[in-house]
Each structure stands twice: as C-alpha cells, then as structure tokens.
A = this chain, B = another copy of it.
C-alpha cells in the first residue's frame, strides 16, 4: 500500500508496560497528514489541560508526516509533541535526520508514550518488534556515550536513536531530544517530558521498504531536484555555507540579534559566519535522509584550549547567533563547543544561549552578582563562562539550577527587575531573528502556538527581493510586494497564508529548506510529490487547509491551557528602540502591532477579542471530535 493508505500508531504505556498498535485510516491520514496534525489531535483528545507537563499523565507524541521517508530532499522530518513544561501549553518540536524515516520503515507513523517507567528505560523498536528495556546503566550518560552503549548491546550499528542526555533527565525546562547526536527536536522542552517519564531513548531499526504509488515519478523529481537546487541561490547557499551563510547579511541589515537583542549588528560577525566556518573548522557537509542540499555542518576543533568532537555535528545559524552575537562572543571554536555540549546534554541551543544572554545582561546591571554565580563574571563577550554555564544548567548546579527554569521563571525567582531583560513569548525564548527589522517575524513570534519560534512561519524578508514578489509564493495568492516594516492587514494576510504553508510542511514531514519560499522546490512539485507518494488527488488548497487545521487545533489546546489573547504579545524590548547596529532606533509600533494581532484573529475565523476559534471555523475544518 502506498503511503497514507493505512497508518499505524504505536501506543506504549510506560507505567504498565502495555504496548499496542492502533490503525488509522486513509480519511484520518488525509485530514491530519501527521506532525502537528497528529499531535494536536491526540493532545486535544487525550491530554487534559490541567495535567502537569512533567507528570505521568502527560503524553509524549512522536509524529512523522505523510511525506516522511520519501527518497527526496527534505522529506525526512518528524515532530515531537506534548503539553510543554516551558510554555504550559501546546508543546512541539521538529527534527530532521534519519530517525523519522527509520520509524516509518519499522512500520509506524507515530508513537504515543504514556505514563512513567518505574526506573530508567529505553524503547527498542525493530520492524514491529517493540521492547521496553532497562536503561539504568545509561542514565546520567551523555548522548554519545548512550548511543554507543545501545548500539553495542543490541549488536547493530545502524540503530537510530532519539534520546535525552542529563539535561532531559534533570528536567531542564528547555531540554531537547537529540537523534543521531546532532539533530534536535529543540524547542518547548520535549526532552524534559521524556525525562519525566524515565525514558532515556527510543532506538529504532526499520528495514521494511516504503511503498509509493508512483515510484518512478518520485525518483524523477528526486533526480531533478538534486541538480536543480544548486541553481537556486537559497538552496545552494545552504549547501555551500550552511544555515549561517546569511549571517553577514543579517548583520549588515541590522537584524542579527546581538547582546540579548539590545543591538542588531555585531562587530565580530565576520568571524562567526558560514564562510569563515567553511574556511576554518568545517570538516564536512552532511545532509539528512535522502537530502541533496546538505545544509548540516560537521566541524572539528583541535585547539589547545578546546576540542570539538565532529561526531556531534556542528553549529547551525541559530546556535551560532545565540552563543555568538547574542552573548557577544566571536569565537567560532567556542560556539562549536557550546553546540557540542548542548548535543551531549540535550539542551535547546536557542533557549540556552538566550538564558545565558539574559543572565549576562542581569549581571551587567547588577541584578546577578558574582556571589550568585560562584565567581563567574557574566559579562557579554566573556569567553570563560559560556561553557561552564551550559554544564551548570544541564546538571542544575549553582545558578544553573535557576537558569534551567527558562529566563522567564528564572527572572521571577531572581526578582530585582530582572524581568525587563527577559525576551520570551509564552515563556519560550526568542530565536535568532530580529523582528524590529521584519515585522512579520514579530507576528510569527507572538502568534506561534509554541511561543517564540522560527519554525512556524516564513520571515517576511522572503516577500521582497528587489521590490518584487517572489514568483514562488504567487500560488499562495500573494501577488503584491511586501515591505518588511509594514504591519497592516496586508502583512497579516501574507503571514497567515505562509503560516498555513509552514504548518502543512510540519504536518507532512517536509523540511522547509527544500521547497519554496525558503528552498527552491516549487509548490506544484510538492503537490506532485504527495500525489505520487499517496495516490491521492491532493491539491494545494487541501494542503493549506490542512495546515490551517493544524494551527487551529494547537490554538484550541493553548486556549484550554489558558494561553489565549493575553499571551499573544512580544516582549517589551521589541517595542523599544534598537540600541545599536544598522537599524539603531528602530522599534515595532506597539499599538499597530496589537491591532494586527486582532486582525489576525478575525482573519483566522477566531473571535477578534478573545482569539478563540469560532465554532463555525472548527466546523469548516472538521474539528468536531
């Protein structure tokens, strides 16, 4: 049967060891697609909003998408979801790598992990054979150690492992889940949920061949794309310089988050961008499953003061900016080491860098002192403290125990006005895109279901290219150019349509670096691919409506958890003037911005004041369970 014709969800209760398979039918698959679609559905149905995210009553959902496993660039993603310990609402994080396709080849479209194991365990799935295994000997180990042991004890080097390190075990609010040591389900603290269940790892080995409706068509597109992507500056840039290839442009435009978002340009930018990496520490370019783009970096550093193990990959743009410009650090080796540590401990690099930058600004303003830090001088640019803080957070030592709560809750504990230096939405720290230079990113942060998140919609720099609309987004009905500093209804509409697209990519398991507008595969090819994979006569309309469905479900879940209109706002700093860089003085006008939020509600078919989806919108999208 081709993808999508039948589906199987594996449900594992760690409390009683019960394991069962649940079939899902074609109508369900075509309506929800996977990813956010599955997660939203199961959270709404099964996880009561009052549940403590770190209690056994929370459920941890691993969801591939209909396209996950297609032998085509970008078709490798899966999402992990649960009620988030960081935001207190809808939690979700995506990752690439090989783990998602591997799960599918083992026979499953998704996993639902329930309850809590009495003692540390890991799950081993091999082609439909599922075991819950003891992990006492793995607990406390870093990811590289644990992976080695799991592979050894099961006698198979090709087992793919999604796991947590000490940060997850220690319930750090922004602990992530890492697969293959370098691909992270980064945001919203999914690693902490996994830790709370005493679940160390999910090790998967799948050898079943995936069936597609029209394999030849798929291979045709795969072959075409593997040549074509290099002709497009966006995708070729990703191959050539990695995700940090755009860092110098951001710096020039004044939108490179610097020193905790105080400034937008960084004097050390040239030392940390992708080209410099390629010319210095880059060991090789790597890709995810079946991907020709190979945006992933593998770096090796062998300096006197620090060594970086290439087995744990290399830093992406988000990591480079959050430990680099954001903390005032211009040492790419150090940043790479921070990345390595985060991958070993399973810490989300964005939140970790942001929490450190927050602590630095508190320190510079006398709110945190050397007494609090055990003597560490947390000045911006101080290379001696970053790696130490990462360890302290992962191990919850000293001030690390407070910082492990995330910057918002840490500020509440610290008091003394620390909150003014917090840059979060719904308690989640901002990613490395400066909304004061592209207001659409502000909408994305304020309105994202997971709190500030860059994986939830396009950046509006994509809208304009020498004043022209990119041809690639015209099929969305966006025909007119867009000013990054526009925050009118037109901007809201374009943002919303692109958000539908991103949500669809998430649900289908598609990496947004392959297709347009961030990548180069046209939308019509994406439609063709899904048709060829499934045999469905699917359309872009259906896909975008599904994307809207996913967003509406996660919104509903947030509303139930108390994350409503009051939480759809940016940290106050973004409504204040940038203190430095090319865009010095630039701020997002607050009144117009809050008006745009209401416009968004109304456009989404949500109540304009409360932001609650109307029952007619729910009926339209078939959210009636």
Task: Name the interface residues of A490-548: CB closer than 8 Å to any CB of B.
Answer: 490, 492-493, 496, 522-524, 527, 531, 536-546
| A306 CB within 8 Å of chain B | no
In the complex, the answer to whether A479 meets B605 with C-beta atoms within 8 Å is: no
CB distance from A256 to the nearest CB of B (A): 32
* A542-B619 contact given A605-B603, A605-B605, A614-B602, CB 8 Å threshold: no
In the complex, the answer to whether B545 meets A477 with C-beta atoms within 8 Å is: yes
Task: Name the interface residues of A586-600: CB closer than 8 Å to any CB of B.
Answer: 599
In the complex, the answer to whether A541 meets B614 with C-beta atoms within 8 Å is: no
| A30 CB within 8 Å of chain B | yes
| A489 CB within 8 Å of chain B | yes
In the complex, the answer to whether A537 meets B475 with C-beta atoms within 8 Å is: yes
| Partner pick for A479 among B31, B477, B541, B617, CB 8 A cutoff | B31
Size of the chain A interface, CB-CB below 8 angstroms: 46
In the complex, the answer to whether B493 meets A542 with C-beta atoms within 8 Å is: no
In the complex, the answer to whether A479 meets B27 with C-beta atoms within 8 Å is: yes
CB distance from A495 to the nearest CB of B (A): 11
Q: What secondary structure prevails in chain A residues at the interface with B?
A: helix
In the complex, the answer to whether A538 meets B475 with C-beta atoms within 8 Å is: yes
Residue on B with the closest CB to A488?
B619
CA distance A88 to B217 in the complex (A): 54
* A475-B539 contact given A602-B614, A603-B616, CB 8 Å threshold: yes
Most buried by B among A492, A544, A616: A616
Contact residues in B for A615 (Cβ distance below 8 Å) = 489
CA distance A544 to B493 in the complex (A): 16
In the complex, the answer to whether A541 meets B490 with C-beta atoms within 8 Å is: no
| A462 CB within 8 Å of chain B | no
* A474-B603 contact given A27-B479, A30-B479, A479-B30, CB 8 Å threshold: no
**Would you list 17 pairs from A and B whose C-beta atoms are within 8 A, ordered by A residue?**
A472-B537, A474-B538, A474-B542, A475-B538, A475-B539, A475-B541, A476-B541, A476-B542, A477-B541, A488-B619, A496-B620, A523-B537, A539-B541, A540-B541, A541-B541, A541-B543, A603-B617
Q: Which 5 A-B pairs have the closest CB atoms?
A: A489-B619, A475-B539, A602-B616, A539-B540, A541-B541
**Which residues of A line the B interface, CB within 8 A?**
27, 30-31, 471-472, 474-477, 479-480, 488-490, 492-493, 496, 522-524, 527, 531, 536-546, 599, 602-603, 605, 608, 614-617, 619-620, 622, 624
